[in-house]
Amino acid sequence: MSNPMLQILVLAAIAIFLILRLRGVLGTRDGFEPTQTPEETVAPRRFDVIEGTAETPDTDIADHAEPGSATARALAAMKEVEPGFAVGPFLSGAKSAYEMILLAFERGDLSEVRGFLAPAVAEAFDGVIADRKARGLTTEAQFLGTRETALAAAEFNPQTRLAELSVRFVGEMIVATRDAQGNVVDGDPRSARKQRDVWTFARQMGSSDPNWQLVATA
């Protein structure tokens, strides 16, 4: 047998041996083994994930009320009716109104601030002023400034859209009341005193009238 023929037979024997070994290791494919095509082997399973919808905190509310409190919820309801409402600017306006109203009351002339007073409050102030005049008393007043302005409480009625905001004030002023003879009967014209009040302002949210009215004092 020639060498070339011998080499062919040897290679054929090796090939047959390798085929048999592979069949033994890998096994055979039969009709019950599913075939798979690329990209379609297993469809990706879809999971519906429920995530919380945590909103960005309203810092305008968080700066003035405890998150989750009745006051915070009332403020949020007000903003739903009137998105342009903001607590910070309201408190700035309330501070100015406090100074104007308090000084007008002490001096006995409400003409410039009457529009900021609810009828019941205006009536009560008028009664005190009239009583002082009837007794011949006059008051000297100098407002030195508001040392504290803070939101104390908030309430909102969704049916009437009436909002009530109570504000705590600490003011400082010089007040002296004199009798008809000029004698000081109350206060001190040379000494400042602190004035602590909680005033409640009300307004119908969404109204075209932007003015708040003083509805209660304490």
DSSP-derived secondary structure for the chain: --HHHHHHHHHHHHHHHHHHHHHHHH----TTS----TT-SSPPPP-------PPPP-HHHHTTS-TTSHHHHHHHHHHHH-TT--HHHHHHHHHHHHHHHHHHHHHT--TTTGGGB-HHHHHHHHHHHHHHHHTT-EEEEEEEEEEEEEEEEEEEETTTTEEEEEEEEEEEEEEEEE-TTS-EEEE-TTS-EEEEEEEEEEEETT-S----EEEEE-
Tens-digit pLDDT profile for residues 170-198: 999 999 999 999 999 999 999 999 999 99
Position 9 in a domain? no
Task: Give the count of domains, the chain.
Answer: 1
Global pTM?
Answer: 0.72
| pLDDT for 106 beyond 90 | yes
Position 78 in a domain? yes
| pLDDT for 145 beyond 90 | yes
Q: For residue 205, what are the domain limits? A: 61-217
What CATH number has the domain bearing residue 98?
Answer: 3.10.450.240
Position 202 in a domain? yes
Output the six-digit token pair for 67.
Answer: 């998150």
Give the separation between CA 75 and CA 68, rounded to whole angstroms. 11
